[in-house]
Structures are given as C-alpha cells and as structure tokens.
Amino acid sequence: MRMSPKPVQTFRDDFTYSNSPGAVARFPFPFPEDEYRYSVNIEPHVTPGPEGSVFEFLLDIDEHYLSEMAERATVLEENPKRCLAMPHMDLACWDMIERCMTSLAADYPEHFSLQVDGDQWTWENRLLNIKDSFTFGDSSTLPLPPMEYMGRQVQGDFALLDQRDGDLFLDAGIVTCPADWSLAFDAGMSFSEWHGPVPLAHEMGVFDRALKYLTAIPVGRPVRRLNWTLTVNARMDTSPETYPNWGTDRASVTADNVGEKVHLRVELQVLDRMPRSNALMFSIRTFLISFDDLVTNPDWARRMHRVLKTLPPELIEYKGLGRYHDLAVEWLSRFDPAN
C-alpha cells in the first residue's frame, strides 16, 4: 500500500504520532528468526521492489513525510550543527542532490518534479511548496547549502562517506533522528572508529567483512540492511545532545503502559555509490511502531517476545533496554503460545 502524507503529527512533547493500519501493514519488521545475533545482513536494494512496500523505491515517502520534515526543521533550529559537510565533500553533496531529485521525481511524480536543461535545473516539491531554479554544481545558486537543502526534503538521516585508503570516513551528513549517536562527535571518523562502541560484533569480525563489502559497491548497485532498537515514546531525536530530554523516559515504562510507550525502532539503511565523487550515500530511514500496534500481527508479536527473551546481556545494555527489558518480555509473553 502506497501511503499519502497526512497532516503534521509530533515526535516530542504530546507525541501525537500514530500509524494508520496501512502503515502498520508495511512496517519493515526486522527479525527473520526467533533469536537475534549480529550478522552482515546486507542485501542488494533492487528497485522497484514489491509494490507499496518500503523497499519499492530508493527513497521511501510515506504518511509521516510532513511530520518528519517539521521535526527536522525544529531540530536544526535548536542545533544547526546537526547538519555539516566538510569542504572536500561539496561534489558528493551535489551527487546526493542529483540522486535524490531524479529518484523522487521519477518515483513520486505527483509530489515532485525536476526539469534539467544542461546545468540549469528547476526542482519542485509540491508537498513543501518549494520551487527553485539553480545551476547544478554552484552552491551559491541554492537558498541553503546543498546537504541541508536536500536533507530538509527527504525522510531519514543521511551521511556521505568519503572513501580513501581502503576505508570510509563520515565527512558529511544531516542527522536529526539518530538512535543515540552524534554526527558532531562522529564526523571525520573512519568506519571502524564510529562503530567502536558496538559490543560482540568486532570480535565476530562483522565490521571487517562489512567494510570489505561496502568499499566494493559499484555505481548503480545500492545495498540495504535493517537495524533495530527500542525507543520509549514515539521520539525521533534520541541523540546524545538531547539526552536530558529523553533519558528519563526509560524509567517511565510500567507493566500497564508497555504497549503504548515502548516502540520498535527500525532503520532501513541504504548505501549507494555516487558517480562523480565516489562517495557512498548512506541513508538511514527510521520507522517507529508501538507494541500495541505491533501485536496486531500475531507472528510479529510471538517473534518479538522470543527475540527479546533471548537477547544477550551485552546487547540489552548497549541498546539501553535494561530498565524496561523484563517488563517488555513479560508483556509480550501473553502473545506467545509457546511461553
């Protein structure tokens, strides 16, 4: 089911965010088995994927588009440093503009259009009432720096990874809905450095294999993976910079409000090679679903219980679930006939 954007809902304060039945049906549930363990779970992002699914196109636009763009604007107003691009990444930022604009115009022509006459481009985003003409490659002809201009019009966080010396470096990005990581802190880090805090995976060689795979991605062959955690309340911005705003949320979960408060947070991560700069465009599209909505699918409810019940202690701690993990497992147990 393709989703049309609905009026703005909130990811903070009164948390008016909700999923329609259609949004629940297309949610990218991330667990293929009853136990979760780290793996190099990367696969080709072949498009078009199944019609109406989150995998149909390179970039997914759904009913939360206007809400997420409003949240992004709020975060950037609070902290402009949540968007940055090092000077040598200018060409990569224009690569991103081309990839996003051409994809959106082709896949969602009812919402976006692009006219190209040599290096003279005209872009229209009817959802946000934006129409701009500019000279491709000339940042002075845009109303905002290239990364911010495009980043304010696409759902999910974006990072541009510069590839050099056989490694990947996080040298540009717009990150306003992260799962407990900071663009300002990680900027300039190598692939292994920004994954340093992750437990177990280093010992298993997961990141060494992943880096070898990612540095070999060719142009026109994007890949994807799903990542997950749990979030209390429908809060998009769980960055270290805003920890005072959300850290105490974890203590607010009780046996009576698990279904309402605890959300499965899934990231659809896509890596796409840019043709001019050779950078990798790394999109991190976040989906949230409350446990109340999740358990409307009996298969998901049963598997979610088994995944959390068997989660290693190191991952419980790393994902910040310690305060409410047992409550969540107990609440989900009623949906697992084998319990």
| Alpha-carbon gap, residue 61 to 18, rounded angstroms | 16
pLDDT of residue 201: 47
In a domain, 10, yes or no: no
What's the rounded mean pLDDT across residues 268-294?
Answer: 97
In a domain, 211, yes or no: yes
pLDDT of residue 187: 82
Residues 47-84: tens digit of each pLDDT? 999 999 999 999 999 999 999 999 999 999 999 999 99
In a domain, 134, yes or no: yes
In a domain, 339, yes or no: no
In a domain, 288, yes or no: yes
In a domain, 138, yes or no: yes
Number of domains the chain contains: 1
Which of 225, 250, 285, 323 is an active site residue?
Answer: 225
Sign of the alpha-carbon torsion through 141, 146, 151, 152:
negative
Sheet architecture: strand order including 112-117:
112-117, 120-125, 130-135
Q: For residue 207, is pLDDT > 80?
A: no
What's the rounded mean pLDDT across residues 142-158?
Answer: 98
In this structure, the number of other CB atoms found within 10 A of the CB of residue 221 comes to: 13
With cut-offs at 50, 70 and 90, classify the pLDDT of residue 1. low
Would you list the DSSP string of 72-128?
HHHHHHH-GGGEEE-GGGHHHHHHHHHHHHHHHHHH-TTTEEEEEETTEEEEEETTT
Q: For residue 205, is pLDDT > 80?
A: no
pLDDT of residue 35: 93
Q: Domain containing 288: what range?
A: 21-333
pTM of the model: 0.94
Q: Mean pLDDT over all residues of the chain? A: 93
pLDDT of residue 183: 87
Residue 225 known to be catalytic = yes
| Lowest model confidence (mean pLDDT) among 29-43, 236-250, 268-282 | 29-43
- Report yes or no: 235 and 246 within 8 Å, Cβ to Cβ: yes
With cut-offs at 50, 70 and 90, classify the pLDDT of residue 338. confident
pLDDT of residue 202: 46
The single-letter DSSP state of residue 190 is: B
pLDDT of residue 34: 95
pLDDT of residue 195: 62
pLDDT of residue 8: 96
What's the rounded mean pLDDT across residues 321-333?
Answer: 97
Backbone torsion region of residue 182, taken as left when φ is above 0, otherwise alpha when ψ lies between -120 and 50, otherwise beta? beta
Residue in 12, 4, 45, 8 with CA at minimum distance from that of residue 28: 45
pLDDT of residue 193: 78
Q: For residue 203, is pLDDT > 60?
A: no
With cut-offs at 50, 70 and 90, classify the pLDDT of residue 199. low
pLDDT of residue 339: 74
Residues 211-235: tens digit of each pLDDT? 888 999 999 999 999 999 999 999 9
In a domain, 205, yes or no: yes
| Alpha-carbon gap, residue 298 to 337, rounded angstroms | 10
pLDDT of residue 38: 72
pLDDT of residue 163: 95
Residues 151-167: tens digit of each pLDDT? 999 999 999 999 998 99
In a domain, 7, yes or no: no
pLDDT of residue 284: 97
